[in-house]
Structure 1
Amino acid sequence: MKKQSIALTLLCSSGALYASDLPTINLGMSSFVDGAVPAGTGWYAQTYFQNYSADSIRDAQGNKIPLPRSEIDYQAIVQQISYMSDIKVAGGNIGLNMLVPILGHIDVDDGLNNQAIKAQRGLGDLLIGPFIQFDPIMGENGPKFAHRFEFQMNLPTGRYDRNKDINPSANTVSLDPYWAATYWFNPQWTVSTRLHYLYNFKNDDPNYSFGNADDMQAGQAFHANFETSYAVNPQLRLGLNGYWLKQITDTEVDGEKVKGRREQVWAIGPGAMYSFSQHDHLVANAYFEQDAENRPQGTSVILRFVHHFHK
């Protein structure tokens, strides 16, 4: 069913070297059969573990930023609670999602005694959103199409320090609504996507690399997750998954557009889902990033456990 990835708020302080204005977003946390829910209405708990490792930070042209080293490794945990009610609206069930990410461990090495990259761990920003899970379209052999819309919001409740280059919080409100959908080519073979639009409000305490600026507003962006998978048997599903991010407007500092800071990246890799029952599922995904601009480029491994509380 869901959700979310720690996205590093990273700004290198050496002159024109900047990266990652965007806040925490979902890059690869959702994957198999994302447009449907596994077991109907009620409460769901999902726990995610992410290990991310990068050995380079890319500039606006996709070239490595010239630091002696650019190694970033972190482990994050995301706890998600979801509720889907029996209440029907516009042909679907309404519900609510809430997520709390935790940047549990981070290790950085810039080759300069971490003078260019200073990091801290801690609680990330709360993500919350009402959603509508529309009734599935059924075929002769089961579901053919299922989809969901959620109005997701990022709230600045996490740990933030303007003197740190990597923070668990973005210190601003963001709107990140999405549409998720799954199509069944046949009972075993599916393809899914989740399409997000990200809008960021102003950060009134911007990072020290912006000097004495009163505020910073990260640009708008589109990002998406996608997967295609095949059920080898009723318990095991194997496939490919990926994500894509493209910032579409410039970051603004004190109301003025700043060129050359737009972010992009895409990634692809293998994945698997094992269903212990209709109510318990374990998902594993790996991603290998490509063509990053104004952000780190690395690899991500994500484990997710989904539990449905049933009577």
Structure 2
Amino acid sequence: MKNSKPQHKPLLALSLALLSLGAQATEGGGGIYPNGNENFLVGAMPPPGSYVLAYAGHDHLTSLRDNSGNKIDLPFDVKATFLATRIVRVTDTQVFGGQLAWHVIFPLVNLNVDVAGNRESKFGLGDIVFGPGIGYHDGNLHYVFALDINAPTGSYDKNRMANLSRHYWNLEPLFTASYVQPSGVNADIKFMYDLNAENSATKYKSGQEFHFDYALGWGFGNGWVAGVGGYVYRQITADKLEGASVAESKGQAMGFGPSIKYDNGKGFFITAKWQQDFNVRNRAEGGGLRLKFSIPF
């Protein structure tokens, strides 16, 4: 496949390792990170202690887009429901003037794929994510530098459409920031850059990816914030198959929709967002619901 257009099959197979929660171009048209997963409070590291966060959602992907953004004429329907538990330990240790923290994410995914009448379903553990972070606070501004390591722990078979793993390791350096106030403007962003290893089963190496999630809202002074959120995704380098570049393999997409947050001021908060994909290239397109909530203990 040297310097040739990729076949539709990799897009379909979407290996919809809707990941550890998500889906989209690179091998199978998918990615490690579920774009748009984060929302308000993404950069606000809590005080030292142990915390549990939960992420839940549902994605419904209904079409595939080619390199020009045109819809591929192929019956396509993918539904993915997920619940991911994130355990965070914020330590008393100071590193470069910030708080050192560690986290691990265990995602459960229920995936249903229907491509041109061919159907597959799979349920189970996806790819586990773990890594360190350093958090800082400056008045209403909070920010974190971190490194996520994605491990290929989910179920995978290269001959299957519905996969719960990308089947390769990934390093994702990231930066998050949150501007938080009870009344007035609230703004959040999470920048990420993906460095993907080769899939040993297919000899396919997905290109490097840059993407960010964002949220912008207004606080009403009673614990509620309402606004908008979404994501921007760009694949930076081309995919490679057995060391040769794959032409027209770079994906891109954006997502946008309404977003809300409620914080009771006692350790519990919940965020919710609906987002619709647009400006999609070499990826699947659809819409999805995202929830995030803390569980104080």
| TM-score relative to the length of structure 1 | 0.84
CA offsets, 1:240-289, max 9 Å, x none?
11101100101101110001111111001111111233311111111011
CA offsets, 1:147-183, max 9 Å, x none?
1011111011111111112311011100111000123
DSSP-derived class of the 1:157 partner? coil
The 8 Å contact of residues 152 and 177 in structure 1, kept in 2 or not, is answered as yes
Superposed displacement of residue 119, structure 1: 5.0
2:76 to 65, 70, 75: 70
Equivalent residue for 2:12? none
Distance 1:74 1:10, change over 3 A: farther
Equivalent residue for 1:242? 230
Equivalent residue for 2:21? 6
Equivalent residue for 2:281? 293
1:28 to 36, 41, 45: 36
Equivalent residue for 1:121? 123
**Which aligned pairs between 1:161-240 and structure 2 lie closer than 5 A?**
161-183=157-179, 187-206=183-202, 215-240=203-228
Rounded Cα–Cα distance in structure 1 between residues aligned with 2:292 and 2:182: 25
Amino acid aligned to 1:264 = Q
DSSP-derived class of the 1:152 partner? strand
Amino acid aligned to 2:40 = F
Superposed displacement of residue 26, structure 1: 3.9
81-90 vs 274-283, which moves further: 274-283
Superposed displacement of residue 112, structure 1: 3.0
Superposed displacement of residue 9, structure 1: 6.6
Amino acid aligned to 2:126 = G
Superposed displacement of residue 33, structure 1: 2.6
Equivalent residue for 1:83? 89
Let me know the Cα RMSD of the aligned residues. Answer: 2.0
Amino acid aligned to 1:54 = L
Equivalent residue for 1:131? 133
CA offsets, 1:79-136, max 9 Å, x none?
11111111111111001010011112x333323334xxx55332111100100011x1
The 8 Å contact of residues 125 and 164 in structure 2, kept in 1 or not, is answered as yes
Distance 1:56 1:26, change over 3 A: closer
1:54 matches 2:61:
yes
Equivalent residue for 1:211? none
DSSP-derived class of the 2:122 partner? coil
Superposed displacement of residue 8, structure 1: 3.0
Aligned residues: 279
Distance 1:307 1:185, change over 3 A: closer
Distance 1:108 1:186, change over 3 A: closer
The 8 Å contact of residues 274 and 282 in structure 1, kept in 2 or not, is answered as yes
What are structure 2's unaligned runs of at least 5 residues? 1-18
Equivalent residue for 2:13? none
Equivalent residue for 2:7? none
CA offsets, 1:191-243, max 9 Å, x none?
1111001000111102xxxxxxxx11100010100111111133211111110
Superposed displacement of residue 308, structure 1: 3.3
User: After the TM superposition, which parts of structure 1 deviate over 4 Å for at least 4 consecutive aligned residues?
Assistant: 184-187
Amino acid aligned to 2:273 = N
Amino acid aligned to 2:31 = P
The 8 Å contact of residues 182 and 221 in structure 2, kept in 1 or not, is answered as no
Amino acid aligned to 1:191 = A
1:150 to 140, 146, 149: 146
Rounded Cα–Cα distance in structure 2 between residues aligned with 1:182 and 1:285: 17
The 8 Å contact of residues 19 and 59 in structure 1, kept in 2 or not, is answered as no
| TM-score relative to the length of structure 2 | 0.88
